[in-house]
A and B are shown apart, each in its own frame.
Chain A
Amino acid sequence: MQPRTFFDKVWDAHVIADLGDGACLLQVDRLLLHDVTGSVVMRELQASGRAVACPPQVFSIIDHLLVTKPQAAPRDGWTPVAVEMIGEARRRARELGVTLVDVDDQRMGITHVIAPELGIALPGLTVVCGDSHTCTLGGIGAVGWGIGTSEGTHVLATQALVESKPKRMRVTFDGQLGPCVSAKDMILKLIGTIGAGGGAGYAIEFAGEAVRALSVEARLTLCNMAVECSAKYGFVAPDERVFEYLKGRSYAPKGEAWDAAVTHWRSLATDEGAIFDAEMRIDVGQLAPQVTWGTSPQHVASVRDRVPAPAGEPQAQALAERALAYQQLQAGLPLADVKIDVAYIGTCTNARLSDLRLAADWLRGKTVAPHVTAICIPGSAEVKRAAEAEGLDAVFRAAGFEWHEPGCGMCGSGRGRLENVRVISTSNRNFENRQGKRTRTHLASPLTVAASAVAGHIADAREEGVR
């Protein structure tokens, strides 16, 4: 048999019918719904009068519209629209008989944080959700991707999806990361290199020494931003580290089923000699922490660089000029001179326990600059419990951070308290107005955000000589 890539193996195993011209009817193993787009999916299915094909394989999770304010009870402070939409998500999930992870459920949290945490997403599974960051789940070796509402309704009614096979790209990260440099810096570097449209039409496999060395949580961060270079799918073939992470999780197989699953999962790795449509290599041995300066994730630079002058072909140049105007920055300005108003650690990119540990370790004994509002929003109730058990919340609070209840926070639709400020953020999108009207967002790793919060401007965590 021809050597095959991980993606080919998973794809081939899910083809129910070949519809011709590259389109296939694919088996979908898990459908995740959330309170914004998921509500619409359920609404439209019910309006069509059709039934849910496989209720046990569908999960309705409430995360986007939650208010995360410190000490907020699960139903505090919701806007009338949030009350209506969250109410709809809960009611319809019950009517349709799908699993509901409700707001006060001890398992609650951001969809892409709890899906691996609970073992809802497993290696080799196809997982879809009306959310572009479903590619996050590639970090545990699932093939996850974002879909629209109509596709969601299709999956709810059939547990299958009509999908055209993408091309395959392998991105190999060579070398070893230096101190204070993380998965977030790797993916920002990639997007800066291939551009915000560089992955369109591709499923990206992340491989290489630096990827193998990443923890499962760091791989989730890496895959989370595959969509920011317009690739619908990004993944790391599963290995022993993943199996160890998943063992014993609520929805992971148990006993003999577990052993059979692991044997199957081991067979999914890309075969030696498999051919990719595109190959890309990045050496991360000398990689510095990365930060964005503009309004596209491709507008990225090393934290010690200057804001670059708009260059390249006319479209890119026009985009960069517009971005500088929006961001109120001048080309040539050292990024370290960019003063920030808000520092934010959270979202489906970087709100896992390991992210919080890194930031807290750095913050121990330090204080956030007086003019900075610093916020930490754990990605799930489990992350929050675990962090509090280790005393991380006390470290964040002592440094001057707000310690919030879990949820999508400033990335979801429950945000809106920010306006016309400059934010350094562990989130994944620096689009215009993404974190509130006229907000200017700089994307960075949790360590870079922590260091910047303390410095009051964009800062390099390595200068403080931490681990």
Chain B
Amino acid sequence: MEALRQVTGIAAPLLRANVDTDQIIPTRFLTRTSEEGLHEGLFAEWATRADGTPDPGFVLNQPAFKEARILLGGPNFGCGSSREGAPRALRQRGFRSVIAPSFGDIFYNNCFRSGIVPVRLPQETVEALARQGGELTVSVDHCAVRVEATGEMHAFLLPKLLRRMLQEGLDEVALTLTQQAAMDAFRVRDRALRPWAYL
């Protein structure tokens, strides 16, 4: 995975509560044998009208947000299905960060593995950022969101290891395989204690 230390760009507001991953990418875009072109399904039901044409009322169809790299979301963003196609579709569309008051746990985890920085900020802050508009910088190095127009900063927290994965573009599997000796030793001990856990 490539390293990601910061993202600067326009933030698109989609402040609905409980945006589920079915809405981020509907199931029918996941039944395929390739991971390319996922972005074509991004928010498909909300982005298109019944006749299949783009809905100009949907935020991501508006010219101002065509190049948006950051998404502002509502509470419990990314709840529901565990599909990693959701952050992957966001990434393919050019998003590298989602800022929301809270996230579905599985989606939050998936973001790091898909090269997206999930940022938790208080709801009033997210709403204020949406009102202000303009460019934001999300810094993984400083764990802070900067409003480019005013220089105003908002700090956030990231789990240490997942943050390092983003910053250094670490291959998580390779990292775990460096612990092979620990895994082997654990399994020898554990197999004696819980033989039924090993088939």
* Interface positions of A (Cβ within 8 A of B): 13, 16-17, 19-23, 25, 27, 29, 36-37, 39-40, 43, 48, 50, 54, 56-57, 65, 81-82, 84-85, 88, 122, 124-125, 130-132, 145-151, 153-154, 157-160, 162, 164, 166, 195-197, 200-201, 227-228, 230-232, 251-253, 257-258, 260-261, 264, 296, 298, 315-316, 318-319, 322, 413, 416, 429, 431-434, 437
- Given A16-B182, A413-B30, decide whether A40 and B75 contact each other with a Cβ distance below 8 A: no
**Which A residues are CB-close (under 8 A) to B32?**
81, 85
Could you tell me if A21 and B161 are in contact, using CB atoms closer than 8 angstroms?
A: yes
Having A36-B30, A122-B197, one finds 14 other A-B pairs with CB under 8 Å, namely: A21-B159, A36-B31, A81-B31, A82-B31, A131-B82, A132-B82, A149-B110, A153-B173, A196-B76, A197-B17, A197-B79, A230-B104, A413-B28, A437-B45
Could you tell me if A17 and B182 are in contact, using CB atoms closer than 8 angstroms?
A: yes
Choose among B83, B173, B193 the residue that contacts A154 (Cβ–Cβ < 8 A): B173
A237 to B29, CA, bound (A): 38
Residue among B74, B87, B103, B161 with the highest chain A CB neighbour number at 10 A:
B161
In the complex, which residue of chain A has the Cβ closest to the Cβ of B78? A230
* Interface positions of B (Cβ within 8 A of A): 15-18, 20, 22-23, 26-28, 30-33, 35, 45, 74-76, 79-85, 87, 102-106, 109-110, 113-114, 123, 159-162, 172-173, 176-177, 179, 182-183, 186-187, 190, 193-199
- Given A21-B160, A132-B81, A146-B82, decide whether A432 and B23 contact each other with a Cβ distance below 8 A: yes
- Given A40-B35, A84-B33, A413-B28, decide whether A433 and B81 contact each other with a Cβ distance below 8 A: no
Choose among A13, A125, A232 the residue that contacts B105 (Cβ–Cβ < 8 A): A232
**Which B residues are CB-close (under 8 A) to A19?**
161
**Which B residues are CB-close (under 8 A) to A65?**
31
**Which A residues are CB-close (under 8 A) to B197?**
29, 122, 124-125
- Given A37-B83, A253-B196, decide whether A23 and B182 contact each other with a Cβ distance below 8 A: no
Could you tell me if B23 and A149 are in contact, using CB atoms closer than 8 angstroms?
A: no
Could you tell me if A23 and B172 are in contact, using CB atoms closer than 8 angstroms?
A: no
A32 to chain B, nearest CB (A): 12
In the complex, which residue of chain B has the Cβ closest to the Cβ of A149? B84
Choose among B26, B75, B161, B177 the residue that contacts A162 (Cβ–Cβ < 8 A): B161
**Which B residues are CB-close (under 8 A) to A130?**
82-84
**Which B residues are CB-close (under 8 A) to A260?**
195-196
Could you tell me if A23 and B199 are in contact, using CB atoms closer than 8 angstroms?
A: no
A13 to B191, CA, bound (A): 12
**Which A residues are CB-close (under 8 A) to B45?**
432-433, 437
Choose among B23, B30, B179, B182 the residue that contacts A431 (Cβ–Cβ < 8 A): B23
Interface SS of A by simple majority: mixed
A91 to chain B, nearest CB (A): 11
Could you tell me if B159 and A164 are in contact, using CB atoms closer than 8 angstroms?
A: yes
Choose among B30, B35, B105, B114 the residue that contacts A201 (Cβ–Cβ < 8 A): B105
**Which A residues are CB-close (under 8 A) to B22?**
429, 431-434
Could you tell me if A23 and B179 are in contact, using CB atoms closer than 8 angstroms?
A: no
**Which B residues are CB-close (under 8 A) to A319?**
16-18
**Which B residues are CB-close (under 8 A) to A27?**
183, 186-187, 190
**Which B residues are CB-close (under 8 A) to A230?**
76, 79, 104-105
A22 to B182, CA, bound (A): 18
Q: Which 4 pairs from chain A and chain B are nearest by CB?
A: A197-B76, A150-B113, A148-B84, A146-B82
Could you tell me if A166 and B105 are in contact, using CB atoms closer than 8 angstroms?
A: yes
Residue among B80, B87, B123, B179 with the highest chain A CB neighbour number at 10 A:
B80
Q: List 21 A-B contacts (CB under 8 A).
A: A22-B159, A23-B159, A27-B190, A37-B83, A40-B35, A81-B32, A82-B31, A130-B83, A132-B80, A132-B81, A162-B176, A164-B159, A197-B76, A230-B79, A230-B105, A231-B105, A232-B106, A264-B193, A413-B27, A413-B31, A431-B22
A152 to B193, CA, bound (A): 26
Could you tell me if A57 and B182 are in contact, using CB atoms closer than 8 angstroms?
A: no
**Which A residues are CB-close (under 8 A) to B177?**
157-158
**Which B residues are CB-close (under 8 A) to A85?**
31-33
In the complex, which residue of chain B has the Cβ closest to the Cβ of A16? B186
In the complex, which residue of chain B has the Cβ closest to the Cβ of A40? B35
In the complex, which residue of chain B has the Cβ closest to the Cβ of A57? B199
Choose among B17, B20, B199 the residue that contacts A56 (Cβ–Cβ < 8 A): B199
A341 to chain B, nearest CB (A): 19
In the complex, which residue of chain A has the Cβ closest to the Cβ of B74? A315
Could you tell me if A148 and B106 are in contact, using CB atoms closer than 8 angstroms?
A: yes
Residue among B31, B161, B182 with the highest chain A CB neighbour number at 10 A:
B31
A227 to B28, CA, bound (A): 22
Could you tell me if B27 and A148 are in contact, using CB atoms closer than 8 angstroms?
A: no
In the complex, which residue of chain A has the Cβ closest to the Cβ of B77? A197
A16 to B188, CA, bound (A): 11
Could you tell me if A25 and B80 are in contact, using CB atoms closer than 8 angstroms?
A: no
A125 to B193, CA, bound (A): 13
